[in-house]
C-alpha cells in the first residue's frame, strides 16, 4: 500500500522573518492511506441469527392473529349495518303493502265507490226512466215515455218525382 505526503495550506500567512514565541514555524504533514476492504466478508453468527428468527416468528404469528381478529370484527360490524338496512327496507315494504291493502279494501266497498264517483268525478245516479232492460227489449213495444233500443230496419224510400233530378 502506498502512502503519499501532502502538505496542508496554512490558515494565516505570516512573515517568514518573524519568529513566533521564539520558535521556528513547523509545517503539519498528514499521510493518507487508501484502504481496500472489498475482499473482506462479514462472518455470520448462527446463534444470533437463530435468536432473531425465534423472536420474529412469534411476533409474526401474533400480528397475523391480530389482523385476522380485526378483519372478523370489521366484517361483523359491516354485516350488522347491512342487516339493519335490509330490515328497514322490509319495514318500509310491509308498511307500503298495508297501505295498498287498505286502499284495495276501500275501493272494493260499493258505497265508498259511489261516494268517490259523486264527489271526485261529479257523477250522479242514473234517471230510472232512462234505464233500459236489454233482455226485455225485444218482448214488445215500449210503453209511452220510455226509451227504446234502436233496431236495424231498412230505410224508407222517399216519394219519386218530388226532388227532380236527384235519385235515391
Per residue in 16-44, pLDDT (tens digit) is 555 555 666 677 888 888 888 888 988 99
Per residue in 65-113, pLDDT (tens digit) is 999 999 999 999 999 999 999 999 999 999 999 999 988 877 777 787 7
Q: Residue 166 pLDDT > 90, yes or no? A: no
How far apart are alpha carbons 51 and 96 in whole angstroms? 68
Q: pTM of the full predicted structure?
A: 0.38
pLDDT at 56: 97
How far apart are alpha carbons 67 and 61 in whole angstroms? 10
Length of the chain: 168
Residue 158: pLDDT band with limits 50, 70, 90: low
What's the rounded mean pLDDT across residues 42-50? 92
How far apart are alpha carbons 21 and 12 in whole angstroms? 16
Indicate the SS3 state at residue 67: helix
Strand-pairing partners, residue 131, are: none
Amino acid at each position: 500500500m502506498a502512502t503519499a505526503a501532502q502538505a496542508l495550506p496554512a490558515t494565516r500567512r505570516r512573515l517568514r522573518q518573524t519568529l513566533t514565541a521564539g520558535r521556528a514555524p513547523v509545517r503539519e504533514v498528514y499521510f493518507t492511506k487508501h484502504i481496500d476492504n472489498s475482499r473482506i466478508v462479514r462472518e455470520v453468527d448462527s446463534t444470533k441469527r437463530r435468536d432473531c428468527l425465534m423472536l420474529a416468528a412469534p411476533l409474526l404469528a401474533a400480528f397475523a392473529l391480530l389482523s385476522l381478529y380485526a378483519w372478523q370484527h370489521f366484517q361483523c360490524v359491516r354485516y350488522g349495518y347491512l342487516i339493519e338496512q335490509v330490515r328497514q327496507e322490509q319495514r318500509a315494504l310491509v308498511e307500503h303493502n298495508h297501505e295498498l291493502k287498505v286502499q284495495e279494501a276501500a275501493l272494493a266497498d260499493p258505497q265508498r265507490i259511489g261516494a268517490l264517483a259523486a264527489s271526485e268525478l261529479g257523477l250522479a245516479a242514473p234517471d230510472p226512466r232512462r234505464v233500459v232492460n236489454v233482455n226485455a227489449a225485444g218482448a214488445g213495444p215500449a210503453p209511452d215515455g220510455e226509451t227504446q233500443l234502436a233496431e236495424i230496419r231498412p230505410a224508407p224510400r222517399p216519394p219519386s218525382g218530388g226532388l227532380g233530378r236527384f235519385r235515391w
